[in-house]
Amino acid sequence: MNDSLEIHVFGPLKTNFDPGARLSEDTVVKLPFVLNESVEQLLKRLNLSKSDYGECFINHTIVNNHTDFVPKNARVAIFSRGMLLIDGGLYLKKWKD
């Protein structure tokens, strides 16, 4: 199995990766794993600036320190800036287009 990252993108940020993305559909970006890559470096690799994104999660845990390393086969979630998370971020209602 190849080591990879699964990046789930939420909100209007989706159009950075798929211009035709609908807010109500899943947008998943898969990237190769890079050893000792920090969250900050991953976000740069995705060409995202701090003004583009809001909360980030790795394996369902909120990222508090962007210098932390991203583990192999991680599930990363990136939310658009300004999105409000419901129930501590554990549940998000589907957006309507």
Residue 1's pLDDT is 47
pLDDT in the model for residue 92: 43
Measured CA to CA, the distance from residue 39 to residue 42 in angstroms comes to 5
Domain ranges for the chain: 4-89
Separation between Cα atoms, residue 75 and residue 70, nearest integer Å: 9
The residues near 52 (Cβ < 8 Å, ≥ 6 apart) are 13, 16, 80, 81
Which CATH class name applies to 4-89? Answer: alpha beta
Answer positive or negative: Cα dihedral of 68, 74, 79, 85: negative
pLDDT in tens, 27-84: 999 999 999 999 999 999 999 988 889 899 999 899 999 999 999 989 999 998 877 6
Whole-structure pTM value = 0.80
**Residues present in the chain in total:** 97
